[in-house]
Structure 1
């Protein structure tokens, strides 16, 4: 712990900026993790199997209630919009689900991409601290008195190395978090796209009185 405190102190002003980015990155990661894994995500395949079964049984009201039971999830929000227009035409069903998709997609994607920016800022702040530390070290070689030269040189090199290390320590986990959360985001969006089309086809076939598969 003392070594970490000393390294942080040796890094100087830039360490505090990187620390702020780490706090922001952690906050965004935790917030997105909660929403993506525990609020928007679900077992889409099992959910849609139930919806399809109810629609095939001409029990749309039960299907809507099933959506209401999982109203915080992303997919039921879109599916419910289509089900409420089940007795309308193809265009109305499609428009309803597209509108619901446009409402939910920004909430799913919100702030996830900012993690990549935060990681880049942490890296750049570490690089800037490195440059400033090297400048200080070179100034020590050029202008410092012999008795102060070693101390100033060590301080400059310590700043350079510590800011680089701390910047990378923040940036690497943040990039990994961005990768994981982006994957979950894509999964949720892909499920919305796929199952909204499947429901639309199901409802249109039902409306025309054709066989429902």
Structure 2
């Protein structure tokens, strides 16, 4: 493996750095962007229970804010619910925009790696071919080992760039899709809360609905 990397020349250094960056971002984001951690499916039901039992106080709202991103979105709506539907929606949207920005953290960097890695490989290919033609001009076509070294450098960097770019692109698309799904779920939960507090929807007890 080391021989292959070495044969790729100095262009393998930024390509390897890209691979480390892509791996680190992918692992961190897949661990962080767990739907159960960001938007627990039973959180709104817990809020309904607090409201039904008249337990929704400042302490419960602080607990909700500290729980997860969806909790912070719902807490913002609850705190501003007395100011009317429009103000409540605006406060939810403001907090949600911050949470979405946090969820999309590093995704642009991952997408950049996916775009740049094959270009670095292509640059390595061009450099390798320039070396090949330079040697041909100096020594002619009789030195097969020299020509093979330049061609090898060109092919190794191209392959390395693609090997990094393809998984990085796949991870970027998967993570972006996960963020979109979480955002849609959070939006649905927030709309339910707004509708219930302002009389457009009734609270449905899930346990009774399943009977």
TM-score scaled by structure 1?
0.84
Instruction: Give the CA deviation at 1:100.
Output: 1.3
Equivalent residue for 1:189, pick from 173, 183, 187:
183
Q: 1:199 to 1:50 in 2, by over 3 A?
A: same
Between the aligned partners of 2:169 and 2:12, the Cα distance in structure 1 is 19
Q: Which moved more, 1:72-81 or 1:14-23?
A: 72-81
1:21 aligns with 2:18: yes
For 1:38 and 1:103, how far apart are their aligned partners in 2?
A: 17
* 1:171-190 equivalent positions in 2, closer than 5 A: 171-190=165-184
Paired positions, count = 204
Q: Residue 43 of structure 2: which of 40, 47, 55 is its match? A: 47
Q: Is the 8 A contact 1:126 1:167 kept in 2?
A: yes
Structure 1 segment 125-140 matched on structure 2, within 5 A: 125-140=120-135
Please show how residues 41-120 of structure 1 align to structure 2 within 5 Å: 41-44=38-41, 46-55=42-51, 57=52, 59=54, 61=56, 65=60, 68=63, 71-120=66-115
Q: Distance in 1 between matches of 2:59 and 2:179?
A: 25
- For 1:127-166, list aligned pairs within 5 A: 127-144=122-139, 149-166=143-160
Q: TM-score, normalised by structure 2?
A: 0.84
The reply on whether 1:123 has 2:130 as its aligned counterpart is: no
The DSSP-based 3-state class of the residue aligned with 1:121 is helix
Structure 2: gaps (5+ residues): 205-211
